[in-house]
């Protein structure tokens, strides 16, 4: 169907009785989708995809369509509140914004004076587009401690991309790859980061070959030319096995390697440690399939690797990312049309500049929690969550006394949830900004009402690496809800940072756009801005790495004391590394399967979305279900050495019988008590966060694979 002309839109408004249409930019998940918001009597009446948007071309997922149900939800927090009584009591009193921000500012200034700025931890959730303002506030305050998902989600792609080739390589679907390798990602469901399922699907419809690496038979795997059903947690071994085939069969781009690769000889020696027969033994993928996939990817050009968070939430996190970048580079698929592009952003002040990273003193930066242990993460301002919990619970290496968590729910989304609970219970003071009183917010002293994307002006997607900027235009106001950016701008003035902020946050948006000679009001009149698109930039300027080349041998990792070459490490809990434990916990549990209506712990109170998926589901192979006497739809107990939870069984033969797949971030907002059932089905009751089980450079918590047992809820685990 051709795009609407504006005359067609105006006709639709008139015929359907809408008062107006506002073009904006959705942020119900990773963002990026242009929308048309139809308004009637001052309220959102309908939301549809914008066919003029270059990101989603008029398509829109269930979350975007249901946005108004989130904004107008009767349980939504619409004014600041202060807790009365002990933590988790569920007793709150309404206060004004001035009271709330004055109280938070007083605690910030007091803690900084008594214990140092490092005793205050700021935190935010998955890519809420508030990270630049949060880092600006933290860096100007003098705290190096910002708690994010960046240690095991997207941050590793940025960090390893920068040290390996200068930036995060993005699949160029606009020029339609001839081959796509979908690795640990299900983008038709999750629409993650720079990507949406629509352009991927269009490329497939145009004839692209498809290789899928996933332990589960996903919708994409069912359509694949080759499906590599690997053992969970063995991605690096599989990639090294494929590289072995490509190198030893001379399927690589010899001119590119000779001119633009650093460390080739040492890299070849490492790759030769992983012949395809060895990779097959490790990964459970037949040797002939490894060889076929390597040949298909390396000889079908241009090709792109569509990677995802599943490969990062592992002990092999950084090496998983590095070895895939090596695959892209040596096959000649970096920075070419239809391959893996190194896009340029428009000429703006980027997240790092706006975040004032250079204004954090070296003395304070050296106090970053975990910085001496996880050095790659520390170089990018990222910390491992356990470092925060230890600083609260054990005051090592120094005490953390205050937390300010924005758009994050760590009781559901961080490993070893019981330890997270103990830390939140003990910390002296905690403020939270969110849409609802989540299980985490229920532990706070003050909770602030956050604005949804429908209630703010902003520059969308300016943190991403696809080169686009899109205007988000405020459509409605709900109660006293305020955007995180406005709130932080106001709070900054109260803690002595006023000289570095603005009278209103529109000044911050102007500051971002200023290098382009634009104001935000001028940008709001545009559909989008895109950075210059130029291919094979490395031919003239090299790669933005210390050697100016693609570093398959990382000089920076070597400098920081890590192995400069990628290698495979067996998952912390596996039948091979932990054979005695596997006798009691015989199944490999994979976690975090993405669902169409939810974004991590969000949206379980949105009617349209919860109707799609009312219960937490664990998938079990029919053979395993028969062995454990589990029926389809039964409530079952999933147990690990850390604890046990309950989810509803679904029989599914698209996995190995030794593998079980469970969902993450489940809580029950319909239960009107302070806990909202956060312990009952929360997969992170089962996961571990021990330092030795994290990626040694990035600090990524290994939450994707562990050992478990499973049995009907009516049968006791001790009887196994």
Chain segment 96-145, per-residue pLDDT in tens: 999 999 999 999 999 999 999 999 999 999 877 899 999 999 999 999 99
Upstream peptide bond of 397 is cis (omega within 30 degrees of 0): yes
Give pLDDT, residue 720: 40
Q: Render 411-450 in DSSP notation, one character per residue.
A: HHHSSSHHHHHHHHHHSSEEEEEESS--TTGGG-SEEEEB
Q: In 3-state terms, what secondary structure has residue 546?
A: coil
Q: Are 406 and 130 in contact (CB under 8 A)?
A: yes
Q: Token digits for 483?
A: 């955007």
Q: Are 145 and 118 in contact (CB under 8 A)?
A: yes
Neighbour tally for 280: CB within 10 Å:
19
Q: Who contacts 228 (Cβ-Cβ below 8 Å, separation ≥6)? A: 211, 212, 213, 214, 238, 283, 285, 289, 290, 293
Are 239 and 229 contacting, i.e. CB atoms less than 8 angstroms apart?
no
> Is 492 within 8 Å of 507 (Cβ atoms)?
no
Tell me the C-alpha distance between 301 and 299, whole Å: 6
pLDDT at 4 over 80: no
* pLDDT at 716 (0 to 100): 55
d(CA 405, CA 574): 34
The answer to whether 447 and 81 have CB atoms below 8 angstroms apart is yes
Q: Which of 38, 41, 39 is nearest to 49 (CA)?
A: 38
| Per-residue model confidence (pLDDT) at position 598 | 95
SS3 sequence of 507-518: HHHHHHHHHHCC
List the beta bridge partners of residue 37.
22, 47
pLDDT at 10 (0 to 100): 63
Q: What CA–CA distance (Å, rounded) separates 418 from 556?
A: 36
User: How far apart are alpha carbons 639 and 562 in whole angstroms?
Assistant: 34
Q: 359 in helix, strand or coil?
A: helix
The pairing of beta strand 643-651 with beta strand 635-640: antiparallel
Distance CA 469, CA 555 (A): 33
Question: For the chain, how long is the longest CA-to-CA vector?
Answer: 71
Residue 485 CA to its chain's centroid (Å) = 20
Q: β-pairing, 179-183 with 261-262?
A: unpaired
Collapse the DSSP code of 425 into the 3-class scheme (helix H, G, I; strand E, B; otherwise coil) and give the result.
helix
Please give the Cα distance from 705 to 247 (Å, whole number). 30
Fold of 579-719: Barwin-like endoglucanases (2.40.40)
CA distance 677 to 661: 21
Fold of 81-152+347-469+480-530: Rossmann fold (3.40.50)
Q: How confident is the model at residue 718 (pLDDT cuts 50, 70, 90)?
A: very low
Averaged pLDDT for residues 152-173? 96
Tokens of 75: 């349980």
Tell me whether strands 340-341 and 170-171 are parallel, antiparallel or unpaired.
Answer: antiparallel
Over residues 565-573, mean pLDDT: 97
Q: How confident is the model at residue 11 (pLDDT cuts 50, 70, 90)?
A: low
pLDDT tier, 192 (very low <50, low <70, confident <90, very high otherwise) = confident
Q: Assign 15 a pLDDT band (cuts: 50, 70, 90).
A: low
Q: How many residues make up the chain in this entry? A: 720
Domain boundaries, the chain: 6-71, 81-152+347-469+480-530, 165-343+542-559, 579-719
pLDDT of residue 714: 85
Q: In Å, what is the CA distance from 720 to each residue of 79, 432, 634?
A: 50, 42, 18
Neighbours of 142 (CB within 10 A): 18
**Signed CA dihedral, 521, 525, 530, 531: sign only:** negative
Q: What is the mean pLDDT of residues 358-386?
A: 96
Q: How confident is the model at residue 2 (pLDDT cuts 50, 70, 90)?
A: very low
Domain at 165-343+542-559: CATH architecture: 3-Layer(aba) Sandwich (3.40)
Give the model's pLDDT for residue 193: 86
Q: Which residues pair with 681 in a beta bridge?
A: none
CA distance 304 to 170: 8
- Say if CB 447 and CB 499 are below 8 A apart: no
Residue 248 burial (CB count, 10 A): 15
Give the chain's mean pLDDT: 95
Is pLDDT of 537 > 90? yes
**Distance, CA of 542 to CA of 386 (rounded, Å):** 38
* Cis status of the peptide bond prior to 302, with omega within 30 of 0: yes
Residue 121 burial class via C-beta count within 10 angstroms: exposed 0-12, middle 13-18, buried 19 and up:
buried
Supply the pLDDT for residue 1: 31
Q: For residue 44, which of 71, 23, 16 has the smallest C-alpha distance?
A: 71
- In degrees to the nearest 10, what's the CA dihedral of 425, 426, 430, 434? -20
- Spatial separation of the C-alpha atoms in residues 481 and 378, rounded to whole Å: 34
Q: How many CB atoms lie within 10 A of CB 433?
A: 29
> Stretch 60-76: mean pLDDT, rounded?
97
Cα gap 699→122, rounded to integer Å: 18
DSSP designation for 583:
H
Contact 453, 71 (CB under 8 A): no
For residue 7, pLDDT over 70 is answered with no
**Based on C-alpha coordinates, what's the Rg of the chain?**
25
Task: Assign domain 6-71 to its CATH superfamily.
Answer: ADC-like domains (2.20.25.90)
Average pLDDT on 390-417 reads 97
Instruction: Give the residues across from 431 on adjacent strands.
Output: 404, 446
Average pLDDT over residues 634-654: 98
DSSP state for residue 22 in the 8-state scheme: E
Task: Write down the pTM of the prediction.
Answer: 0.95
Contact yes or no for 214/182 (Cβ under 8 A): yes
| DSSP type of residue 599 | B
SS3 263: coil
3 pLDDT more than 60: no
Q: What is the dihedral sign for C-alpha 678, 426, 410, 95?
A: positive
CB of 605 closer than 8 Å to CB of 670: yes
């Amino acid at each position: 169907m051709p795009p609407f002309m504006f005359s067609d839109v105006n006709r639709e408004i008139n015929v359907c009785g809408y008062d107006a249409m506002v073009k904006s930019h959705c942020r119900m998940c990773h963002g990026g989708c242009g929308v048309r918001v139809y308004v009637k009597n001052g309220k959102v009446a309908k939301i549809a995809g914008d066919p003029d948007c270059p990101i989603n071309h008029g398509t829109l997922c269930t979350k975007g369509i249901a946005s108004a149900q989130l904004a107008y939800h009767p349980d939504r927090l619409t004014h600041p509140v202060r807790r009365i009584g002990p933590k988790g009591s569920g007793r709150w009193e309404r206060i004004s914004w001035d009271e709330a921000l004055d109280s938070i500012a007083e605690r910030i200034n007091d803690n900084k004076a008594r214990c140092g700025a490092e005793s205050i931890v700021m935190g935010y959730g998955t890519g809420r587009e508030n990270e630049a303002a949060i880092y600006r506030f933290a860096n100007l305050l003098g705290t190096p401690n910002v708690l994010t998902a960046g240690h095991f989600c997207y941050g590793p792609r940025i960090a390893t991309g920068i040290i390996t080739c200068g930036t995060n390589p993005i699949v160029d679907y606009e020029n339609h790859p001839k081959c796509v390798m979908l690795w640990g990602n299900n983008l038709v469901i999750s629409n993650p980061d720079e990507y949406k399922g629509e352009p991927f699907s269009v490329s497939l419809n145009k004839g692209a070959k498809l290789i899928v690496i996933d332990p589960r038979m996903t919708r994409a795997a069912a359509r694949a030319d080759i499906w590599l059903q690997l053992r969970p947690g063995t991605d690096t071994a599989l990639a090294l096995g494929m590289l072995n085939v490509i190198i030893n069969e001379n399927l690589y781009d010899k001119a590119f390697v000779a001119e633009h690769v650093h460390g080739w000889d040492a890299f070849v020696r490492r790759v030769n440690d992983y012949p395809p027969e060895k990779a097959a033994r490790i990964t459970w993928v037949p040797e002939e399939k490894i060889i076929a996939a390597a040949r298909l990817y390396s000889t079908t050009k241009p090709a792109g690797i569509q990677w995802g968070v599943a490969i990062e939430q592992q002990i092999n996190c950084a090496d998983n990312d590095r070895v895939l970048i090596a695959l892209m580079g040596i096959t000649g698929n970096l920075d070419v049309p239809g391959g893996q592009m190194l896009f340029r952003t428009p000429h703006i002040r980027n997240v790092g500049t706006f975040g004032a990273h250079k204004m954090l003193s070296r003395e304070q930066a050296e106090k970053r929690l975990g910085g001496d242990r996880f050095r790659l993460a520390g170089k990018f301002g990222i910390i491992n969550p356990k470092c925060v919990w230890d600083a609260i619970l054990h005051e090592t290496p120094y005490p953390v006394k205050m937390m300010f968590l924005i758009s994050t729910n760590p009781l559901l989304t961080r490993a070893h949830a019981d330890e997270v609970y103990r830390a939140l219970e003990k910390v002296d003071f905690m403020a939270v900004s969110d849409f609802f009183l989540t299980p985490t917010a229920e532990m706070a002293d003050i909770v602030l009402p956050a604005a949804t994307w429908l209630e703010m002006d902003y520059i969308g997607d300016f943190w991403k690496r696809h080169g686009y900027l899109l205007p988000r235009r405020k459509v409605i106001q709900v109660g006293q809800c305020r955007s995180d950016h406005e709130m932080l701008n106001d709070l900054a003035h109260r803690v002595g940072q006023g000289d570095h902020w603005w009278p209103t946050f529109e000044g911050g948006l102007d500051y971002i756009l200023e290098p382009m000679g634009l104001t935000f009001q001028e940008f709001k009149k545009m559909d989008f801005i895109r950075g210059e698109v130029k291919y094979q930039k490395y031919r003239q300027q090299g790669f933005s790495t210390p050697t100016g080349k693609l570093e398959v041998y990382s000089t920076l990792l070597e400098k920081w004391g890590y192995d400069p070459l990628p290698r495979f490490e067996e998952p912390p809990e596996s039948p091979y590394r932990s054979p005695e434990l596997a006798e009691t916990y015989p199944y490999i549990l994979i976690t975090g399967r993405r669902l169409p209506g939810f974004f991590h712990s969000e949206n379980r109170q949105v009617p349209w979305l919860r109707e799609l998926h009312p219960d937490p589901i664990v998938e079990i192979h029919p053979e395993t279900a028969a062995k454990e006497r589990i029926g389809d739809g039964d409530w079952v107990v999933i147990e690990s050495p850390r604890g046990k939870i309950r989810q509803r069984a679904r029989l599914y033969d698209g996995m190995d019988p030794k593998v079980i797949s469970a969902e993450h971030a489940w809580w029950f907002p319909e239960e009107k008590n302070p806990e909202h059932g956060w312990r009952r089905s929360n997969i992170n009751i089962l996961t571990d966060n021990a330092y030795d089980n994290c990626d040694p450079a990035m600090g990524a918590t290994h939450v994707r694979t562990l050992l478990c047992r499973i049995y009907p809820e009516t049968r006791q685990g001790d009887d196994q």
